[in-house]
């Protein structure tokens, strides 16, 4: 089992120290959130809270996840970084491929691309992308990303994206894994069809178990039952050694967490106490989880 540190909504000047501490404590990865902007009003509900409201404000800090990965990669040696998850629907996949290619090269292949459609109509429209047909557009964008990132001279002619032969160099030093986020049936089918893993948002344990079981069935339907597949989980009601082992029992391979939350610290707490929480988590959880 692996552990990933989430750095969502933390002050940007803390990210380097948090990454170094996570590496020293035995974390495998850093999960990088994505939010393009905070619109004063939104015309759709946020899908991962009971009442559809956003749990951050217009003053909450967000770094571009690819920039953050490059920055933290420069001060670490072993940690991997993955977006959890980047909103693909509002982005152009050719431009995004250039960015991902660069981050993968600069970090020595320590980067994975977690992808979601996106939920806010304003993020689509104000970035010049249509909200309509967003699912089909994302499916095609994933094809474009994989085609370009796998290297060589390539071309693509689809419904939404069209280009003649091009190549981006250098090719990433290793294959960039794709992880799909989302809890809907459409998202789960997309993960089973094209991804190397699936990323949850905040879920209760029983819902997480049901979703993993459903994904395993979908992978079998795709003839992928024996292929490696990551299950990255944010579980909101199972913690501690026993709770994490229970998550492992249902198939979770990668637990995403914020250790300082268990010590009563908020996102905007000073970095020193957060570093202490990371070290304690490493000593009390990561070092003992396999015992």
Per-residue model confidence (pLDDT) at position 291? 67
- Residue 80: CA atoms inside 13 Å, Cβ hemisphere, count? 17
Per-residue model confidence (pLDDT) at position 264? 97
CA distance 189 to 251: 18
Residue pair 246/238 in contact (Cβ under 8 Å)? The answer is yes
SS3 119: coil
Per-residue pLDDT tens over the stretch 195-207: 999 999 999 999 9
CA distance 167 to 124: 27
Token duo for residue 58? 């217009």
Token duo for residue 127? 């970035």
Which residues have CB under 8 Å from 147's CB, separation 6+? 154, 156
**Which residue ranges of the chain lie beneath pLDDT 50?**
none
Strand partners, 178: 113
CA angle, residues 133, 137, 140, in degrees to nearest 5 = 150
- CA gyration radius, the chain: 19
CA distance 25 to 176: 25
Strand partners, 232: 199, 254
The third-level CATH classification (topology) of the domain covering 2-286 is TIM Barrel (3.20.20)
Residue pair 40/17 in contact (Cβ under 8 Å)? The answer is no
Token duo for residue 262? 């268990």
Torsions phi, psi for 99 (to 5 deg): -70, -45
Q: Is the peptide bond before 85 cis (omega within 30 degrees of 0)?
A: yes
Of 147, 79, 146, the C-alpha closest to 107 is 79
Strand partners, 156: 163
Q: Is the peptide bond before 170 cis (omega within 30 degrees of 0)?
A: yes
CA distance 161 to 139: 11
Strand 162-166 and strand 154-157: pairing? antiparallel
Residues in the chain, overall count:
291
CA distance 66 to 44: 26
Residue pair 129/96 in contact (Cβ under 8 Å)? The answer is no
Per-residue model confidence (pLDDT) at position 200? 96
Alpha helices (runs of H) in the chain, residue ranges in sequence order = 15-25, 65-73, 93-106, 121-126, 134-149, 185-194, 205-221, 240-249, 271-281
Per-residue pLDDT tens over the stretch 231-266: 999 999 999 999 999 999 999 999 999 999 999 999
Per-residue model confidence (pLDDT) at position 130? 95
SS3 130: coil
Structural domain boundaries of the chain?
A: 2-286
């Amino acid at each position: 089992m692996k552990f990933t540190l989430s750095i969502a909504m933390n002050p940007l000047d803390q990210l380097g120290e948090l990454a170094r501490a996570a590496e020293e404590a035995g974390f495998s990865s850093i999960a990088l959130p994505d939010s393009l902007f905070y619109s004063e009003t939104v015309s759709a509900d946020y899908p991962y809270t009971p009442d559809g409201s956003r749990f951050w404000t217009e003053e909450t800090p967000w770094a571009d996840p690819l920039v953050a990965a490059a920055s933290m990669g420069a001060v670490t040696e072993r940690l991997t970084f993955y977006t959890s998850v980047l909103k693909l629907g509002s982005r152009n996949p050719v431009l995004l491929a250039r960015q991902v290619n660069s981050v993968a090269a600069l970090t020595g292949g320590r980067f994975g691309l977690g992808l979601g459609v996106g939920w806010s109509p304003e993020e689509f429209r104000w970035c010049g992308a249509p909200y309509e047909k967003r699912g089909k557009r994302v499916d095609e964008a994933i094809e474009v990303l994989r085609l370009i990132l796998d290297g060589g001279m390539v071309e693509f002619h689809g419904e939404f994206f069209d280009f003649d032969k091009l190549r981006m160099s250098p090719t990433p030093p290793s294959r960039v894994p794709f992880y799909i986020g989302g809890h809907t049936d459409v998202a789960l089918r997309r993960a089973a069809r094209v991804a190397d893993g699936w990323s949850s948002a905040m879920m209760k344990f029983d819902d997480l178990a049901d979703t993993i079981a459903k994904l395993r069935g979908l992978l079998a339907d795709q003839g992928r039952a024996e292929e490696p597949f990551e299950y990255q989980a944010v579980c909101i009601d199972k913690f501690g050694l026993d709770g994490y082992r229970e998550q492992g029992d249902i198939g979770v391979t990668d637990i995403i967490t914020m250790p300082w939350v268990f010590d009563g610290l908020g996102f905007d707490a000073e970095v020193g106490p957060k570093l202490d929480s990371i070290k304690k988590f490493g000593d009390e959880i990561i070092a003992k989880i396999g015992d």
